[in-house]
């Protein structure tokens, strides 16, 4: 094992020593660490999006710490070790890349992707071999962000033929779902409105898939764009010595249009 990797494992074990370790580290368990795993993953993404390589190096280390932390707790409880974690992912990578490590030949990215998904399906089947029935949708983490969960589930279904073959019907479906949202809104039934909004979001994710767009990233970028434009409006209003709530919507809309032009070429 690499020297620094072993040092990290040794430090983590030392921090968890019941007699003279760190009180905070000692009291942690799998569940208490969940927020930190999520936070560190998002901080890695943030560093990548900012193209800050020094920060990315640091954040990847923080994310690796979470892996080591969980492995240490698991080892203490007799479940598995960090070495077994490494072995499992090595085996999985080799198994899922027969075109690299064996002699499989794929003639297109689509064929390679289909083989990848089939390998994952075979793994799920093996994992649940004593279960009478297994769904191709099993194994999708329920704690995923909603857009990502939706995309993964739709991908799974599409890989087994349940999908439109062209994008045109998806556009039609988006319009159909939007019309149903309007009908639900007119009814005043809040539960029905929520249901139809959910259907609209689901089919919008499907549209993004057909256009080869990551819906999670697309929404994140649009939210960032909205924030920049809104901050432009705040600055314009502040320059007049007023509060946003003192302005009419028409005036704020004019500032919004200004912001669109002023920030047009910004990322």
Q: Which two tokens stand for residue 62?
A: 């923080």
Instruction: Give pLDDT, residue 2.
Output: 77
Report whether pLDDT(247) > 80. Answer: yes
Q: Which domains does the chain have, with CATH numbers?
A: 3-96 (1.10.287.1080), 140-213 (1.10.287.1080), 221-262 (no CATH)
Report whether pLDDT(250) > 90. Answer: yes
Instruction: Give pLDDT, residue 124.
Output: 74
pLDDT tens for residues 176-204?
999 999 999 999 999 999 999 999 999 99
Which DSSP string corresponds to 13-59?
HHHT-TTTS-HHHHH--TTTTHHHHHHHHHHHHHHHHTT-HHHHHHH
69-73, 89-93, 260-264, range with the lowest pLDDT: 260-264
Q: How confident is the model at residue 267 (pLDDT cuts 50, 70, 90)?
A: low
Report whether pLDDT(1) > 60. Answer: no
Which DSSP string corresponds to 179-236?
HHHHHHHHHT-HHHHHHHHHHHHHHHHHHHHHTT--HHHHHHHHHHHHHHHHHHHHHH
78-82, 175-179, 263-267, range with the lowest pLDDT: 263-267
Instruction: Give pLDDT, residue 216.
Output: 87
Report whether pLDDT(62) > 80. Answer: yes
CB atoms within 10 A of CB 220: 14
Report whether pLDDT(56) > 70. Answer: yes
204 near 240, Cβ under 8 Å?
no
117 near 96, Cβ under 8 Å?
no
Instruction: Give pLDDT, residue 63.
Output: 96
Q: How far apart are alpha carbons 179 and 171 in whole angstroms?
A: 13
* pTM (predicted TM-score): 0.65
Q: How far apart are alpha carbons 95 and 60 in whole angstroms?
A: 25
How many CA atoms, within 13 angstroms, populate the side-chain half-sphere of residue 105?
1
pLDDT tens for residues 98-149?
989 988 888 888 888 888 878 877 777 777 666 666 777 887 888 888 888 9
- The pLDDT of 49-71, averaged and rounded, is 95
4-13, 32-41, 113-122, 222-231, range with the lowest pLDDT: 113-122
**Residue 259 exposed, middle or buried by CB count within 10 Å (0-12, 13-18, 19+):** buried
- The pLDDT of 4-21, averaged and rounded, is 94
The end-to-end CA distance of the chain, in Å, is 42
3-class DSSP state for residue 92? helix
Instruction: Give pLDDT, residue 234.
Output: 94
């Amino acid at each position: 094992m690499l020297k620094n990797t072993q040092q990290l494992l040794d430090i983590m074990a030392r921090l968890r020593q019941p007699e003279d370790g760190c009180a905070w580290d000692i009291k942690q368990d799998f569940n208490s660490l969940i927020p930190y795993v999520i936070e560190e993953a998002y901080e890695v993404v943030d560093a990548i999006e900012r193209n800050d390589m020094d920060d990315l190096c640091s954040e990847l280390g923080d994310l690796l710490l979470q892996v080591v932390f969980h492995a240490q707790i698991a080892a203490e409880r007799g479940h598995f070790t960090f070495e077994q974690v490494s072995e499992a992912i090595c085996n999985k990578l080799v198994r899922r890349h027969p075109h690299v490590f064996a002699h499989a030949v794929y003639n297109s990215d689509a064929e390679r992707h289909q083989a990848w998904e089939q390998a994952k399906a075979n793994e799920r089947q093996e994992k649940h071999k004593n279960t009478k029935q297994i769904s191709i949708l099993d194994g999708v983490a329920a704690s995923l962000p909603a857009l990502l969960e939706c995309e993964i589930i739709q991908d799974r279904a599409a890989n087994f033929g349940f999908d439109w073959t062209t994008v045109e019907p998806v556009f039609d479906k988006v319009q159909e779902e939007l019309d149903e949202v309007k009908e639900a809104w007119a009814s005043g039934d809040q539960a029905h409105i929520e249901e139809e909004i959910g259907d609209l979001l689901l089919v919008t994710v499907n549209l993004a898939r057909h256009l080869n767009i990551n819906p999670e990233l697309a929404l994140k970028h649009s939210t960032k764009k909205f924030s920049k434009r809104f901050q432009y409006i705040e600055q314009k209003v502040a320059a007049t010595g007023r509060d946003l709530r003192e302005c009419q919507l028409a005036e704020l809309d004019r500032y919004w249009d200004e912001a669109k032009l002023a920030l047009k070429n910004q990322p």
